[in-house]
Each structure stands twice: as C-alpha cells, then as structure tokens.
Amino acid sequence: MGDSLIEEKGQYSELYKILGYVFKNDGLLREALTHPSLEGNRNYQRMEFIGDRVLGLAIAVWMYELYPDADEGGLASRHTNLVRRDACAKVAEKLNLGNFLHMAKSSEDTGGRKRKTILADTCESIIGAIYLDSDYHTAEKFIRRNWKDLANNVKVAERDAKTKLQEMVQAKGKTPPVYTTIDKKGPDHEPVFTIAVKVHGEGEEVGEGYSKRGAEQRAANLMLERLSEAWKKNT
C-alpha cells in the first residue's frame, strides 16, 4: 500500500493508514462511519449486518486452526468471546474509530464517540465495508491482524449472568426467571431499556442498558448477587 496512493485519497488518508487498507469506493467507508443519528443519510446498520457475518465466519475458521485439540464446545465458547460486543469495541478503540465517526451533535455531546455499543457496531460495519469493497480474503486479513492479541489469549467463555441465574433457581426447584421490559426511553438509534427480572417467591431486580440483552444481564446479575447471599445464609 503506497503512501502516495493514501495521500491521494483525501479526507480518509489517516484512517487508511490505521486500517492498513485503501478503499476503492470512499462512499462505502463513509456509510460505514455514519451513525444513525444523522437522519436522511445512509448509515452503518446494513454494513454492520454484513460485517457481523463475515467476522463470525472468519473467527470460526481461525479457532478451528488455532485450537486443533478443542472440541466443538471449546471452539464455540472461544468464538463467542471473540465476536461479542466487548471484543469489537476493544478493536475499535485500538483503531480510534470513534474519532472518524459522522454523527449528530446531540449524540456526540452524550459521549457517542466513546460508547462501546456504537464502537462495536462501527467495527463490524468497517469489516462489512472492506468485504464489499474487496473480497472475503481481504476482510479476513483485516480481522486476523486486529484480533491477533485477543485470539492468542482467548479463554473458554464463562456462562453469562442469565444462564447462571436460571441454573441457580432451577437447582432450587423453582420456575425459570421471567424478564419484562418496563421502560424504553431515548431516540430509536440510542434507546435505553429498563428490564425487570422476577423469580417466583423472591421478588424482582431491575437493570438498565443500551440493549435489551445488556439490561437483562444487569438485572440478572443483581438478582444473582442477592440470591447467592440470601441462600448462603440459609444453608
């Protein structure tokens, strides 16, 4: 990748150096960097959809190669750790993608450039844009280059809070926890969910998050902490 070619590409020349890839179609990159808060503009959501699938396949093949002695469960668990939002957000932070986002001032003023959910979405959309601008092999090279440290140190994923809570209450002979959305506020592109989890005979706990899954996990974690403490005293 020649420096002269990068300089010719104008506004994204700095980002091309960071990505290690020069787009043939700058429009794809701009779309991948456009937050949904800019109404009337094509935003990154469709490319995020593509990038998520490309990332999933690339990581699956990579885990198969890196861990030849791991069984299906071990591969799946490592795969989960590497494609989850936290991993994508870490890569986005390393690449400083937040600095290049196009977003409404209202979203920027509320910390949008540093919000992990937005950074994770942007990272996936960049993968999708590279795939659409070139091919799978090029996107895979980008993924392996930027996920290298994570992949070499990935561990089998721990069970999440919802899974732990369900196993705990079922071990006590109780019915599974019930999750209910009790509030949703904020604009469609940046919603905040409030979700309650109820365990029969044990009341409820409430969690908030920028996604339903995140709010459910927070509520489940609070319930886990309370029940663990309460049931420990009764043993």
The residues that are catalytic are 52, 124
Dig out the tokens for 13 from the structure. Answer: 């020349």
Tokens for 84, please give them. 């989850």
Helix (H, G, I), strand (E, B) or coil at 192: strand
Would you state the torsion angle of the CA atoms of residues 20, 24, 27, 30, taken in this order, to the nearest 10 degrees? 10
**For residue 195, which of 172, 167, 176, 220 has the smallest C-alpha distance?**
220
**C-beta separation of 195 from 180 below 8 A:** yes
Give the number of other Cβ atoms within 10 Å of residue 107's Cβ: 20
Beta-carbon contacts of 144 under 8 Å, excluding residues fewer than 6 positions away, are 58, 62, 151
Helix spans in 84-211 (H): 85-94, 105-109, 116-133, 136-146, 148-153, 161-171
